[in-house]
Amino acid sequence: MTQKNTLIFVVVSILLLALFYHLKSDAKEDYFEQKKQLVLFQKEAKEIGALKKRFKDKSMTRRLIASLERISKPTKDQSKSKVRVLVFENLGNNALNAILRKVENSGLKVKKLQIQRVDAQKAKVRLEIKK
C-alpha cells in the first residue's frame, strides 16, 4: 500500500508541477503583452496631451492670426461672443495657398471655412475661429 501511495503522490506532484509551469508561462506571456500595451497607451496619452495643450494655447492662436494678417490684411475682422470671423477678399493664388496652408497646419479651432472664387485669379475666404 505504501508503494501505491508513493506512486500516486509522485504522479500527482508531476502533474501539479506541469500545471504550475504552464500557468507560469501563460502569465509571463500575458505580462509582456500587457507591458507592450501600456507602453503604447503611454505614447498615445502623451500625444493627446500635447494636442490638448496645443489647442488650448491662446498665445499661439494670436500669433497665428497675426501671421495670417501679415499674408493678407483681412477686409473684415469681427469678434463675436465665442467666434472670431476673418474675411479675406481678392486673394491671389499664392496668398490663398499660404493662408490655407497656415490654417491647415495650425492648432486653430476652425468652426467654418468658406472659399469662394471671385474670378479666375481672385478668391474670397471667410474663416470662423472658436475662441
Are 108 and 48 within one domain?
A: no
Q: 0.85 cut: is pTM over it?
A: no
Q: What number of residues does the chain have? A: 131
* pLDDT more than 70, % of the chain: 99
Are 43 and 72 within one domain?
A: no
Are 50 and 62 within one domain?
A: no
Q: Residue 108's domain spans which residues?
A: 58-130
Q: Number of structural domains, the chain?
A: 2
> Mean pLDDT over residues 40-54, rounded?
90
Higher-confidence residue: 86 or 30?
A: 86
Are 83 and 36 within one domain?
A: no
Residue 114: the pLDDT is 93
Are 33 and 63 within one domain?
A: no
CA distances from 30 to 12, 25, 33, 37, 130 (A): 27, 9, 5, 11, 45
Are 13 and 65 within one domain?
A: no
